[in-house]
Amino acid sequence: MKDRRLTAYMWSMYGLATVALVLTDWTSLASLPGAAVTAWVGLIFIGVLSEGLAIGLSVGAAASTSSITFLPLLAAVQLFGPAAAVVLVCTTQVFGEIVVRRKPLGRALFNVSQVIVGTAIGGVLFLWLGGVPLQVDAVGSAPTITDQLIPFIVFGLVFLAVNHAAVAMAITLSQGLPFRRVWGLVLSNSGASLQDILVAPIALAVAFLYVSFGIGGILVVLLPMLFIRYSYLTTSRLRESNADLLTALVKAIETRDPYTSGHSLRVSRLAQQIAERMGLNRHAVEHVRQAALLHDIGKIEALYTEILRKPDALSPEERAIIESHVTRGEQLLRDLSSVPEDVVKAVRHHHEREDGKGYPDGLLGDEIPTGAKIIIVCDAVDAMLSDRPYRRALSLPLVIEQLEEHRGQQFDNRVIQALVTSDLLTEYAEMMRTNRARATAESLDPSPIPAPMMRPAGRPTRKLRFHS
């Protein structure tokens, strides 16, 4: 049913785009002088080049791209009118979706269609509100920037609104989620669109510079921005390479211990979900996710694995070695200039406690970074729901009991509240149960794990070890 509704929706978007193309007034392009046509083609070229230099953005599961294509689009509607803007956005999006991002034909066609619809609707409102294409209407006195400001703003906002609404509806139909919730998620992850709005006045300036100085007025503003974009692209790719290397290193560390295999990836996913539930902004959520993925990066030496697999109590010397993994992880991440400071701090402090009895610095309450507060809870949850050499995985009621017992002392109240008042913990426990069942089906030897020793009341006979 969902697939049919989504297919019908996509075809309706194709139809709307076709209607928009038919109803567009193409005669305005015929009256463009030769110099204006050259400038228009130049804007299209800049838009295509911008799509080629688009920077990939990833926030958790959400992914998008950031480019400056919005600027030549806004400049085109100001200078040459809606028809020219439709041609520009259609050309750049076809290139971006098919050549650069290599989307499947159906998705590419949908994305192209919805930007055509957004451009066409925005263009109609631009003209209706008194906007004047500067290189088309030669009758009367030339408009001022103030005259063009409101039509310009409305065009940009309508374009972005249609874009977000179309994407949100597609997600709603494909995943069966409430549109209102999806709309909120799309807006919360629309950092690239916010960036577009902030730099939009540059496009207005470009249009009026062209009127005064010709095509040089366009190049003097947009070409330097392309070079800046290229430098950002290079930096972004370097950061992605570092992130991939760190992720591979984390996986390599965990493969040495079957009891912690996949631990960091699971903790990062749960930490991201809790951070979102707590209402942190998108950048803070991403930093929490990264820190959770890398929180045990300091355990790179095999010595840590040997100690963690001990079924007996740790000696003071062994505990000191275990506790040193946070400072070793911090140092490793500081050697990589691309790792944000918030991530480094969260890794260093992810074993601090609310009562000040944690390590390495004995921070108390609000002195502990929020990311570290989230990670310590996720770390403990994953450890309690996992089989360990010294016990089997705990039941969900016992995990909740332990979290409630230690809130305000070891764990932050806000983090526990966000976790236990949602379905996150139940879903996580079910995932862990499924993983254990799959491992058993794959004939993993469970013999090193002794049966749990529990008092009749259901409480453990020994103090729970929350580290992983």
Q: Beta partners for 411?
A: 407
The full set of domain ranges for the chain reads: 2-236, 255-441
CA-CA distances (angstroms) from residue 12 to 97, 162, 454? 19, 14, 61
What tokens does 170 get? 């597609």
CATH 3.30.1360.170 matches 2-236: no
CA-CA distances (angstroms) from residue 244 to 249, 280, 293? 9, 25, 11
Q: Beta partners for 407?
A: 411
Per-residue model confidence (pLDDT) at position 114: 92
Asked if 292 and 268 count as a contact pair (C-beta separation under 8 A), the reply is yes
Helix (H) or strand (E) holding 423: none
Q: CA torsion sign, 309 to 388 to 244 to 60?
A: negative
> Topology of 255-441 in CATH?
Hypothetical protein af1432 (1.10.3210)
Q: Beta partners for 56?
A: 65
d(C-alpha 211, C-alpha 405), whole Å: 70
Which residue blocks in 176-315 are alpha helix, DSSP H? 179-188, 191-213, 215-254, 263-277, 282-294, 302-308
d(C-alpha 411, C-alpha 385), whole Å: 17
d(C-alpha 88, C-alpha 65), whole Å: 18
Asked if 448 and 406 count as a contact pair (C-beta separation under 8 A), the reply is no
d(C-alpha 113, C-alpha 102), whole Å: 16
Per-residue model confidence (pLDDT) at position 41: 85
d(C-alpha 371, C-alpha 373), whole Å: 5
Q: CA torsion sign, 299 to 303 to 305 to 307?
A: negative
Asked if 167 and 186 count as a contact pair (C-beta separation under 8 A), the reply is yes
Helix (H) or strand (E) holding 56: strand 55-59
Q: Which of 224, 207, 214 is nearest to 38 (CA)?
A: 214
Helix axes 191-213, 215-254, angle to 10 degrees: 160
Per-residue model confidence (pLDDT) at position 464: 52
How many helices (H) and strands (E) are present in the chain, helices listed first? 20, 2
Reported pTM:
0.57
d(C-alpha 146, C-alpha 272), whole Å: 44
Environment class of 329 (CB within 10 Å of its CB; exposed 0-12, middle 13-18, buried 19+)? buried
Asked if 379 and 295 count as a contact pair (C-beta separation under 8 A), the reply is yes
CA-CA distances (angstroms) from residue 441 to 153, 391, 434, 436, 452? 60, 20, 10, 9, 21
Environment class of 193 (CB within 10 Å of its CB; exposed 0-12, middle 13-18, buried 19+)? buried
Q: Which of 456, 448, 463, 396 is nearest to 424 (CA)?
A: 396
CA-CA distances (angstroms) from residue 72 to 89, 196, 225, 364, 433? 9, 11, 11, 51, 53
d(C-alpha 443, C-alpha 446), whole Å: 9
Q: Which of 239, 346, 353, 235 is nearest to 294 (CA)?
A: 346
Environment class of 81 (CB within 10 Å of its CB; exposed 0-12, middle 13-18, buried 19+)? buried
> Would you mind telling me the total number of residues written for the chain in this entry?
468
Q: What is the CA radius of gyration of the chain?
A: 28
Q: What is the pLDDT along the chain (468 residues), one digit of tens a residue?
A: 567 888 899 999 999 999 999 999 898 888 788 777 888 888 888 788 777 766 554 433 444 445 567 778 888 888 888 999 999 999 998 998 888 878 888 888 998 999 999 999 999 999 999 888 876 554 445 666 677 788 888 898 898 889 888 888 888 887 776 777 677 666 655 544 555 555 566 666 666 666 655 666 566 556 566 665 666 556 656 666 666 666 676 766 666 655 556 788 899 999 999 998 888 887 888 899 989 988 888 887 777 777 766 767 778 888 888 888 899 889 888 887 678 899 999 999 999 999 999 999 999 989 999 999 999 999 999 989 887 666 788 889 999 999 999 999 999 999 999 998 888 888 888 888 887 777 666 644 444 433 333 333 333 334 455 555
Prior bond to 360 cis, omega within 30?
Answer: yes
Helix (H) or strand (E) holding 55: strand 55-59
